[in-house]
Structures are given as structure tokens and as C-alpha cells.
């Protein structure tokens, strides 16, 4: 059991029968009255973010989230297939479960899938990926009015901003947590 006074970012707890992750929290001690904890929590199954306040002494059971490294195999329209790298067991996931992560994932790439009580609910790409630039406009020398960057479409279909010197066909490294260009490989 975890008391609301011990909440930290990224902690997973069960609140009202739902598994939630603490997105943000703030301990508040008003001049008058009792202290409370103001939180933003996200339901891991539905993705809904809610703001709630709790007494610091309220207790909640901690939710155990299992993370497995799996390999992305292919998709057949609405289902994406992943294989456990140790047991070779394959699992299909719906488009809405994987949509955010798939913009940086290509076939045969390893990803991290999170499970709660045996049910997969989230896919996370590696923190850094190397992808080919499929299409980008050529950089114009002296065109720095736009901050020295231009949009580029990657081989997976994702669009990110890259420096002017990056060309179509270049392999670049991307930080998937911030959607930022890191370097040319």
C-alpha cells in the first residue's frame, strides 16, 4: 500500500479499481485547513488524464506493471504482431494500443511492451532509433529565417524537423521521447 503523501511521478497505483500512473503531483499545505495532494493521473487502459486531490494519509494498492522486450514483426491492417524474444510467443495488438509508438518502429525492431495482469496496454519504442529520411526538401544556403530546420518524412511515415544539411536518403538518429533529431549517422 502506498499513501498519497508518497506519490511520485511514474508510480502506478490502483485507484477506484482502475490502474493509474501518476503524471504529476503537488503537496499543498494551505494556511488554513488540512494539507492535501493535488495530482494528475492517467488511466493506463483508457489513456484518460484526470486531476484529483487526495488526503496525504489515503492509501492505495500499488499496481505491478510487467515490461517485456518484444520484436515487432508485421501488421496486417488493424493488428500489429509482436514476438517475445525469449519464448517466441506472438501477440497481436490493436492499432489504438500501438499507434503513438509505431511512428518510430520498423519491422524486426525490438520494443518494450507493458503488461498489467497479463494484458498488454502500451508499446514503447527504444529511446533512440536510427531511421532513413524518405523525403525532404533540399536545404537552401542562407535560408536561416526559419531557425535552420526543415520538415523531413522518415521511412516509417513520421515527420520531424531536421537541420538544413540533412538530405533524402540520410540515416539519422532520433530521440523518440522528445521527437527530436539527434545526429546524422
Q: Please give the full DSSP string across 163-185, using - where no structure is assigned.
A: ETT--TT-EEEEETTTTEEEEE-
Encode pLDDT of 58-74 as tens digits: 999 998 889 899 999 99
Domain ranges of the chain: 2-60, 66-124, 128-184
Encode pLDDT of 133-173 as tens digits: 999 988 766 655 556 788 999 999 899 999 888 889 999 99
The x, y and z cell numbers of residue 97, run together, are 494500443
Residues 6+ apart with CB under 8 A from 38: 25, 26, 28, 51, 52, 53
Using DSSP's 3-state secondary structure scheme, residue 67 falls into strand
Predicted TM-score (pTM) of the model is 0.73
Q: What are phi and psi of 4, to 5 degrees?
A: -60, -25
Query: Looking at domain 2-60, does it have CATH number 3.30.300.20?
Result: no
Higher-confidence residue of 11 and 45: namely 11
Query: Looking at domain 128-184, does it have CATH number 2.10.70.10?
Result: no
Amino acid at each position: 500500500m502506498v499513501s498519497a503523501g508518497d506519490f511520485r511521478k511514474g508510480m502506478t497505483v490502483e485507484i477506484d479499481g482502475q490502474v493509474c500512473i501518476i503524471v504529476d503531483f503537488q503537496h499543498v499545505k494551505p494556511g488554513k485547513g488540512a494539507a492535501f495532494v493535488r495530482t494528475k493521473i492517467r488511466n493506463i487502459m483508457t489513456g484518460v488524464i484526470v486531476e484529483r486531490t487526495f488526503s496525504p494519509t489515503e492509501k492505495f494498492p500499488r499496481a505491478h506493471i510487467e515490461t517485456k522486450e518484444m520484436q515487432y514483426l508485421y501488421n496486417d491492417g488493424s493488428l500489429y504482431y509482436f514476438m517475445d524474444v525469449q519464448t517466441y510467443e506472438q501477440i497481436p495488438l490493436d492499432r489504438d494500443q500501438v499507434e503513438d509508438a509505431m511512428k518510430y518502429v520498423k519491422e524486426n525492431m525490438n520494443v518494450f511492451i507493458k503488461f498489467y495482469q497479463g494484458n498488454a496496454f502500451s508499446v514503447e519504442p527504444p529511446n533512440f532509433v536510427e531511421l532513413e529520411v524518405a523525403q525532404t526538401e533540399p536545404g537552401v544556403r542562407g535560408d536561416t529565417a526559419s531557425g535552420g530546420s526543415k520538415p523531413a518524412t522518415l521511412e516509417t511515415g513520421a515527420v520531424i524537423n531536421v537541420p538544413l544539411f540533412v538530405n533524402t536518403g540520410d540515416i539519422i538518429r532520433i530521440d523518440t521521447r522528445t521527437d527530436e533529431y539527434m545526429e546524422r549517422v
